[in-house]
Every structure is written in C-alpha cells, then in structure tokens.
Amino acid sequence: MGDAIIDIVVRDGIDITTVAHAGRRANSTQMAAMLSREYICETEHFGHIYDLQIDHIVTYVSSKLTDVVDLGYKCCRCHDLKTNHGYTDGPLQANGRRKLIPPPKPPPDPP
C-alpha cells in the first residue's frame, strides 16, 4: 500500500471523542469519525440529508479547538441561521437532535 493512510473507526471499541486539534477544519481522523454518524442535519424538525456542512457546536471563535464531540452536521439553512443570524444550538437530546434557539428579541425602544 506504499504511503497510503487508512483511518479505521471502531464505534464500540475506542473512544473517538478524544480526537481533537487546534486547527479550524476537521482533520482526516475526525472526518472518519464524522462519517460513522448518521448523515442528517442534527437540528430538530429538519432532517435534511443533502448539502450538509460540518458545524462547530461550540463556536471555533470561542474555543479555538476542533473536537469531534463539538462537531455536527447542519444543512445550509441551519448553518446560516447559526453563523449569521444569532441562533445557537441547544443541548443534544436523547433522539440525537438539537434545537436551534433563536436570538433573544431586543427590548422595545423607549417611548
């Protein structure tokens, strides 16, 4: 196989949650771990299975870390809402989905 690199993920054997690094993009080992998950937008009520993007659940700007447990699949719409419109992720629920929480409404202007 020469210089080939092979990543093997054993879901019930080793703890893949320990795969982390300081770069922004998922590395090849993290991508292999992501491929072991269900390929679906993890936002509750959407369930899109196309045009998925990998999202940092805890924003990279605040954590400066790419950690497999803090990565999730989002459809383009959900990723845009989170990245550009102030939405945040709720906790992971038992069904494997998260609620997308809208930003707080600004207080009304004083009279």
Q: Give me the residue spans of the domains in the chain.
A: 16-101
Q: What is the pTM of this model?
A: 0.68
Residue 8 banded pLDDT, cuts 50, 70, 90: low
Structure confidence by residue, pLDDT tens digits, 33-84: 777 778 889 998 777 888 899 888 887 777 777 777 788 899 999 999 999 9
Residues 33, 9: contact at Cβ < 8 Å? yes
Residue 99 banded pLDDT, cuts 50, 70, 90: very high
Residues 100, 82: contact at Cβ < 8 Å? yes
Q: What SS3 state is found at 43?
A: strand
Residues 36, 15: contact at Cβ < 8 Å? no
d(CA 50, CA 69): 22
